[in-house]
Amino acid sequence: MQAKKIGYLGEELAASYLNQHGYSIVATNYTIQGGEIDIIARCNDFLIFVEVKTRTSSTFGNGGESITRNKRLRLQRAITHYIAQHCAHREPEYRIDVIEITLHAQKHYLLNIDHIENIE
């Protein structure tokens, strides 16, 4: 399976996981020039901006370890844009989460989901 398809599968699994745990999905793949947010969700009065990292191996570390300083800057740029466009009446409380998805290397079924809240 191509890396892009594995990424989309991971995002679908992450969205399903969030729904099952009481989150409402607001948007997926919110993209601006120079930044992207995989999933935007709402839980109570919080907006949750979610970075999904999907792996078929732990060879390169876990998904959370792959969020570099540059990736955080691009993510923050997209968050700032989203808030300016969709929350003009007031700045919401928000946090940034990472969901790490681990799939079986050959058959691509789900092995593990790890939800790391508030990575900042």
**99 neighbors 52 (Cβ within 8 angstroms):** yes
pLDDT in tens, 12-56: 999 999 999 999 999 999 999 989 999 999 998 899 999 999 988
pTM of the entire predicted model: 0.89
pLDDT higher than threshold 60 for residue 70:
yes
Query: Could you tell me the residue ranges of all domains in the chain?
Result: 3-116
**CATH T-level topology, domain 3-116:** Trna Endonuclease; Chain: A, domain 1 (3.40.1350)
Residue 103, C-beta contacts closer than 8 angstroms, at least 6 positions apart: 6, 9, 10, 54, 55, 56, 109, 110, 111
Q: How many CB atoms lie within 10 A of CB 85?
A: 10
pLDDT at 80: 93
